[in-house]
Structure 1
């Protein structure tokens, strides 16, 4: 594998004034990245994956989900994983919690940060949560209230923000209204998801501009049409400073078959290095980790940077 240093390429170029000085990478590979894998990944592999990602300098690693194993069998080992996870100092390990039963499990295992997962559309709320658009918020409210009472941070995901495979285009005001409900409920951050990867930079700018402020917003892009990086750059120029990504570009959505992989963390880091935005991750370590995981999954990583640096 060729390292970035061996290539002799500049890792830092002049910062652009409209870009943030630093971006927080919210790594979702161990949860969103693996959840759609058909072959069950072993517990020891998942634990090593998380430890490798932490060693690569990533400070936020979404570890797993307490969704019922009937719906996401890949993450049926959530309790065992959290019980055996060796947490590194300074690294956060949030988990996805769909309901109060999931919160009970999270609290019992000493989780300090959780995420809830809502939908900007009626159809996806029913398919993903078996709830109507309004019923999903009624389900989340006691989860958020209890979690905050226990001192947990709560992040809100909002899916289908840029398009829905059943409903088509999603009105911007509908996205904002749904997002505000999660923020007003007590979520410290709202991650806007392009679940099927149809967003474009102009669309991203329009959605972000419709929110009163962007300080509490993050972005979560899929790369179906090859727009994830350009959409991310557009979001950064709008003031967003947290970006979701998945090591090696793993991921999809088990409830939206049109969804391809997440934005690859390596591709994101390569871009951030090129525009002079700090992030704290080591690219060579990330590439090595994604190659290691790809070998265990039995297929090459879809990350363009991983392919370029390894010749695969």
Structure 2
């Protein structure tokens, strides 16, 4: 079912107000599953990726090369990539924390990677065991080598709207960190509301402080139920890439207050209502998330999945 099936009124985006198309950066297979209490089997992960690709999602963040001690749910990253049936015209980025991770990515033929930085000192130390400045020194050779090998590199920046240890995060601090990552050669910077405290006005302020919004993406968690409204604010500010997770899976193993990511189904429903293209088959996506919820043994957090499956 879609907005059109219900004959609900839609609006055409006004020039300069909303984009005509949005790229959905699907993070469920990595950011979603990494926060599960139980380890999901390799076969289930491979089927999940294949179902998501069949639903029309063109970017699927497949896994992460973090040490299994820290994220045991993704300890099968090498096996997953070796057995992954990569579809044509689908991007399968992998999170790479350091040069050792890059070595593994290169050996497995990865073409797109992401690095994961912090806008705050405390989270950089807790997540990366580096100071705020030291994290950039760690990332620089990774980005340089990856680009030399022809890989595209995306940067995540966490704690952009609030930090559970430091509280409010100054906008200029976010911009400074973000620019350092972009200046390294990352093609895109994803601004993360890691603990889900952002509001639309805050989103507008952060995005408005950057010189080039076209190189930005947004990554919202739904702790306070603001993920969709924050996304709409970002779209109106000129952002055209939105991170989301099928079925609303995910959280953050280093920030226990964080709930799941923005659900891809909820995002698609809103985009349909706004007349914005995205290329995703909502029915196929809902079936996929309902299937994954069965594998995990709990209901999907996505409101759209619940509405369209009767629970």
User: Into which bin does the TM-score normalised by the smaller protein fall?
Assistant: over 0.9
Structure-1 residue corresponding to 2:89: 90
Contact 1:97 1:115 in 2 (8 A): yes
Cα distance between partner residues in 1 of 2:186 and 2:290: 35
The question of 1:72 aligning with 2:71 is answered yes
Q: Deviations over 1:196-223 (max 9, x none)?
A: 0000000000000000110100000000
Which region of structure 1 is more displaced relative to structure 2, 5-14 or 225-234? 5-14
DSSP-derived class of the 1:308 partner: helix
Contact 1:16 1:275 in 2 (8 A): no
Once the two structures are TM-superposed, the CA of residue 266 in structure 1 deviates from its matched residue by 0.1
Cα distance between partner residues in 1 of 2:202 and 2:234: 10
TM-score (norm 2): 0.98
Structure-1 residue corresponding to 2:13: 15
Aligned pair in 2 of structure 1 residues 5, 196: CA closer, same or farther (>3 Å)? closer
Structure-2 residue corresponding to 1:236: 235
How many pairs were matched up? 310
Cα distance between partner residues in 1 of 2:83 and 2:9: 36
The question of 1:213 aligning with 2:212 is answered yes
Cα distance between partner residues in 2 of 1:304 and 1:242: 22
Structure-2 residue corresponding to 1:258: 257
5+ unaligned residues in a row in structure 1: which ranges?
Answer: none
The question of 1:43 aligning with 2:39 is answered no
Cα distance between partner residues in 2 of 1:6 and 1:12: 8
Cα distance between partner residues in 1 of 2:42 and 2:78: 11
Once the two structures are TM-superposed, the CA of residue 4 in structure 1 deviates from its matched residue by 3.2
Q: Deviations over 1:48-93 (max 9, x none)?
A: 0000000000000000000000000000000000000000110000
Contact 2:2 2:269 in 1 (8 A): no
The question of 1:248 aligning with 2:266 is answered no
Q: Alpha carbon RMSD of aligned pairs, Å?
A: 1.2
Cα distance between partner residues in 1 of 2:185 and 2:3: 43
Structure-2 residue corresponding to 1:33: 32
DSSP-derived class of the 1:35 partner: helix
Contact 2:3 2:273 in 1 (8 A): no
Cα distance between partner residues in 2 of 1:153 and 1:6: 36
Aligned pair in 2 of structure 1 residues 6, 216: CA closer, same or farther (>3 Å)? closer
Aligned pair in 2 of structure 1 residues 128, 39: CA closer, same or farther (>3 Å)? same
Aligned pair in 2 of structure 1 residues 186, 6: CA closer, same or farther (>3 Å)? closer
